[in-house]
Amino acid sequence: MATANHNLSNYDKNTIPNASNFRFGIVVSEWNHEVTDGLFKGAQEALLDCGALEDNILKWDVPGSFELIYGSKKMIERQVDAIIAIGCVIQGETKHFDFVCEGVTQGIKDLNVTSDTPVIFCVLTDNNMQQSLDRSGGKHGNKGTEAAIAAIKMAHLRRTF
């Protein structure tokens, strides 16, 4: 496994643009909330740590990961500089996992192609709950933190070019 024994959530603030002038949207799936709550916490803490103002972070909850697409699309209308779509899909016994993962991936990709607002994909697609917990504040760090850093960099790119 690529992330075995690695915490990928460490970042150097000196290499990250100051986020104080950016507005961020975070759309969070309520499904598997014990994971998505951790991802949100990691994202929020990283944004604040890099200078984002609490009032400039807008959070919306949606029922599941598939609904992240519509929530992110509506969030674009709020004129934020970047959006983080947070979800968690865990492999089960049916094809539902494949359909949801493919749909969410393609939907977020489509938003990035058709909109001027970057949408960061922070959807865990793991084989079991423990893998997701390990990546939402556990032994492998927090993918929410990584998504926040990506959002800051993409917001900066959006405003610069």
Sign, Cα dihedral of 134, 137, 141, 145: positive
* Strands in 21-72 per DSSP E: 24-29, 57-62
Q: Which two tokens stand for residue 129?
A: 């709950």
pLDDT of residue 156 exceeding 90, the answer is yes
pLDDT score, position 100: 96
Q: For the chain, what is the total number of helices (H) and then of strands (E)?
A: 5, 6
Residue whose tokens read 């970042």: 11
Rounded Cα–Cα distance for residues 101 and 88 (Å): 9
pLDDT range class, residue 4, cuts 50, 70, 90? low
pLDDT score, position 8: 58
pLDDT of residue 7 exceeding 70, the answer is no
Q: Is the residue at 12 inside a domain?
A: no
Catalytic pick among 6, 33, 96, 156: 96
Helix axes 96-114, 68-76, angle to 10 degrees: 10
Query: What CATH number does residue 131 fall under?
Result: 3.40.50.960
pLDDT score, position 9: 85
Q: Is the residue at 25 inside a domain?
A: yes
Q: Which of 122, 154, 131, 145 is nearest to 41 (CA)?
A: 145
* Beta strand 57-62 pairing with 82-90: unpaired
Cα torsion for 30, 91, 150, 8, to the nearest 10°?
120
Has 96 been annotated as catalytic?
yes
Q: Is the residue at 11 inside a domain?
A: no
What is the average pLDDT value for the chain, to the nearest integer? 95
In sequence order, what are the residues at sequence separation of 6 or more whose Cβ sits closer than 8 angstroms to the Cβ of residue 115?
73, 76
pLDDT range class, residue 43, cuts 50, 70, 90? very high
In sequence order, what are the residues at sequence separation of 6 or more whose Cβ sits closer than 8 angstroms to the Cβ of residue 142?
9, 38, 39, 41, 42, 135, 136
pLDDT score, position 154: 98
Q: Is the residue at 141 inside a domain?
A: yes
Host domain of residue 126: 21-160
pLDDT of residue 146 exceeding 60, the answer is yes
pLDDT range class, residue 1, cuts 50, 70, 90? very low
Q: Is the residue at 124 inside a domain?
A: yes
Q: Is the residue at 6 inside a domain?
A: no
Q: Give tens-digit pLDDT for 54-103.
A: 999 999 999 999 999 999 999 999 999 999 999 999 999 999 999 999 99
Q: Is the residue at 14 inside a domain?
A: no
pLDDT range class, residue 20, cuts 50, 70, 90? very high
Q: Is the residue at 16 inside a domain?
A: no
**Overall domain count for the chain:** 1
